[in-house]
Structures are given as C-alpha cells and as structure tokens.
Structure 1
Amino acid sequence: MVGSRASDPALIHDHGESSGRRSCGRPPVLCDEMRRKKIMDATTETLIEFGYQATSMDRIAHSSGMSKKTLYQMFSSKQELLEALLTERLFNTRLSSLPLIGETAEARLVYGMQRLTDEFLRDDRICLLRVVVTEVSRIPEIGDFMQTYFTSNSRSFPLYIWLRQLEDEKLIVLNDLEADADRLFGMTIGLLTIKELTRCKPRLSNCERASHIIESVRFFLRACSQSAPRHVSAA
C-alpha cells in the first residue's frame, strides 16, 4: 500500500508542491529584457571598478553570470555595449512626455526642472558620469559618441521640448531655443552636477537644491524677457 502511494505521480507532485521544494534542473530562462538589464548592471559595476580600458567582455560576462556568447548575441563589441549603456543609463530620461504643472511659465519650468534634476543627480548616474569624465580625454571613441549623440538628439531632450511648448503657448519669448535650453540646463543641472562630481562644496540639501532651481529659473526668465525682440511701431 505504501509502495503504491509513493509510486503515484499525482501524489508525488502534490507532496512536492506542499513542501515548497523546487525541482532540480536548469535555471529559469531569462527574457531578453532581463538579460539586457543584468548585462547593463554588470557593465556599470565593471566600469566603475576597473575603468574603460580594463573593462573587457570577459569581465562583464563573469560579473553578469552569462556567457560571452550571450553578450555577443546582444552586442557586437564592447564599444557598442558602452554606447548602449550611456544612452540608456546616462542620457535617456522618461520625462519628455511629462505634463508640466502650473499656471505660469515659472511654475511649470520649476516643476519640470526639479524632476529632471532629481533624475540626473541620482547616485548611480553620478557614479557612471564620473567614469565617463575620467575616460573621455583618454578614449576618443567616447568623446566622439557623446558629440554625435547630443548633436542628433538635442531636440528630443525634455528641457528643449518644455521650452518649445511654453513658447508655442506664448508664455515666453526665446531668441534661440536650443541655445536657451543649454543655458538653463547649465545654470541648474550642469552646475549642480559639477558640485557633485568635484565635491568642492558640501552636498546641498533637498530644500537648498529646490531653492537653487527656483532662483535659476527666475533669472533665466528675466533674461529672456529683457533680450526679447521689441517691435517698434511705425511713426
């Protein structure tokens, strides 16, 4: 009787389920999205620890727990992998379609810039950016890629899109949309990023960072209003 119960496949299955044991066998197959995330995580960690020159596909494969064959199925070279990493983890944001909240240009820009600042000054981005800044003068390919990327994608950057929306709604007047976007970025995120990278001053608190954004946006809007072309009526 005992033997017949033990040999019953249904009972064996039920026993395994109730005991919470996992059957032995091959590890679960990861989808492409999960594979890509593991590779990106491993590449980031390897770059931060060893730098670009010493980062190899072997090291990335070891850190990610995947084979080199899998890496090369997704990326043809280390350079292609690095470019994908910088695009996804450093340059891309999810804020391009963010609806700006506020009734005035100042309120809406402050709202957007605070969220953009929070995203760009995350610790993981700053660590990756520190590696890029260190390597860009020694690895021409990195500098070439960054210049090409920004030249091709500047108009899809959230700040450019927001300023264009405000201009279309007649809330601000700009002389040069792309140059003005660069100026506001430099006054806010650019300056705060330099402080984070150099640690030349104590890190700002969230309140101090918010105050800096508000003051910078106000200064920017005043400068825009003063430099706006004035139409002189004919006598």
Structure 2
Amino acid sequence: MDRTATTYHQRVAQEKRALIVSAATALFLELGYDRTSLARIAEQSGVSRATLFKQFPTKAALFDAIVTKSWSTSEEEEIPPAGNITEGLGTIGRRYAELLGRRQMTDLFRIVIAELPRFPELAHAQFSQGKLPYFESVRSYLLAEHEAGTVRVEDVDLAATQFLGMISNYVFWPALLVPSWEVSPERVAQVVDEAVRTITARYATQGPAASTDD
C-alpha cells in the first residue's frame, strides 16, 4: 500500500473516531452512561459495529477517549520557558480559559457528575487522565520559575491551584451550573490578566538573584 493510500485510510479512521466520540458524548448526556450501549453509539455515529468495536472495545475505553479529547491541546503548545513569569502565566492562563470554554469540557463534567454515584471510575478517569496531567504541567512550569529565581514558591501545588482556580471559578463553574452563563472574550482576557497579576504579586521576586533567605 502506497503512502497516499495509507494517509487516506488514516484520515478516514480519524474521522470515524471523531464521529463515534461525538455521538457517545451526546448519548451519555441524554440517556446516561449505563443505558447507552455501544450498538446504539454505532448507530448514532453512522459507523458499523465492527468499526466501533475495533476502535473502542469497551465503553470505558470510549469514555477515556472523551476525556483525552476534552483535555487535549495543540502539540505545539509546550510549557513556556522559565524567565518571564508574567508572559508564561499569561500564556498558560489563556490556554486554560480556552480549554474550559469548549463545549466538550462542560459535557464531560456533566456526564461525570450525573454518573458519579454508580460509576465512580468515570470520575477517576477524568481526574487521572485529564485534570491531573494538566495540573502537573502548570506545576512543572511554576517549579521551573522557582528554580530560575523569578518566583519564590514554597508550595507549588497550592500556587498552581490558586492560579487555575481563579480562572475556572469565573469562566467554567458558573457555565456548568447555569447554561445561560456567557463570558465575553474581553472578560475572559481580564480574568486571566487579573489572575496573573495576583500570582505575580504574591510570588514574584525582585530579580533572578534574589535570595530565598530574605
């Protein structure tokens, strides 16, 4: 099989995978995780059962794919280099706000909350495969800034939680509870900027050479 044919088949497989994930998300929200069968998802997505089972042999695997899609960012979006805490946090904050503003993120949390009593493993998957890896990337960035001397952070976990929380508490959680909640792009930018200012005011040093013993 030549490269062109291989690329074509890969693209078709990716398109079908996206259709399956989208259909599963909609059905999980409408019917619940337990009442949604893989056969129903195949029918809704317009693919054969064989195709669906090849991609996702279980509902758990399919839910994992929903988590991965919801928390995915562009491959080019690497952790900003240490050295400028304002620019670095600004980049991270804008990415986080964009991530939380996606429809699939709200859908994911609604599925987890609705099914938590019967399927706690869904919440575990959402945390361990989605939120935790993202949190760790922010934590790693703050740790790098601490080691570079641009910030003095004794509790990196707390600092990362503070920063992300200031953004999510305005941009995401109200939207989860109030479907009509809307935040303009200008307001989102303001929320991110204020979160950056708050963190830098609390943790930034006067310069890379500042002593941690001051």
TM range, smaller chain: 0.7 to 0.9
Residue 67 of structure 1 deviates from its aligned partner by 2.1
2:90 matches 1:110: yes
Q: Distance in 1 between matches of 2:26 and 2:179?
A: 25
2:156 matches 1:177: yes
Query: 8 Å contact 1:184–1:216 — kept in the other structure?
Result: yes
TM score, norm. by length of structure 1: 0.71
Residue 155 of structure 1 deviates from its aligned partner by 6.2
Number of equivalences: 202
CA RMSD of aligned residues (A): 3.3
Residue 77 of structure 1 deviates from its aligned partner by 1.0
Q: Give 2:44's match in structure 1, choosing from 63, 76, 87.
A: 63
2:119 matches 1:139: yes
Q: Give the greater-gyration-radius structure (CA).
A: 1
2:99 matches 1:126: no
2:104 matches 1:91: no
Segments of 5+ residues of structure 2 without an aligned counterpart are 1-7
Residue 100 of structure 1 deviates from its aligned partner by 4.4
Q: Distance in 2 between matches of 1:151 and 1:102?
A: 22
Query: 8 Å contact 1:195–1:201 — kept in the other structure?
Result: no
Once the two structures are superposed, residues 106-145 of structure 1 have per-residue CA deviations (whole angstroms, 9 ceiling, x without a partner) of 2331233113211221223223322222222332221232
Residue 194 of structure 1 deviates from its aligned partner by 0.7
Q: Distance in 2 between matches of 1:122 and 1:229?
A: 42
Q: Residue type matched to 1:209 in 2?
A: V
Q: Give 2:30's match in structure 1, choosing from 42, 45, 49.
A: 49
Q: Distance in 2 between matches of 1:34 and 1:173?
A: 46
2:210 matches 1:231: no
Q: Distance in 1 between matches of 2:101 and 2:178?
A: 13
Query: 8 Å contact 2:145–2:151 — kept in the other structure?
Result: yes
Query: 8 Å contact 1:96–1:156 — kept in the other structure?
Result: no
Determine which structure has greater relative contact order: mean sequence separation of CA pairs < 8 Å that are 6+ residues apart, divided by chain length. Answer: 2
Q: Residue type matched to 1:169 in 2?
A: A
Q: Give 1:219's match in structure 2, choosing from 194, 198, 201.
A: 198
Q: Distance in 2 between matches of 1:96 and 1:198?
A: 32
Q: Residue type matched to 2:152 in 1?
A: V
Query: 8 Å contact 1:110–1:214 — kept in the other structure?
Result: yes
Q: Distance in 1 between matches of 2:116 and 2:108?
A: 12
Segments of 5+ residues of structure 1 without an aligned counterpart are 1-27
Residue 230 of structure 1 deviates from its aligned partner by 4.6
Q: Distance in 1 between matches of 2:82 and 2:148?
A: 13
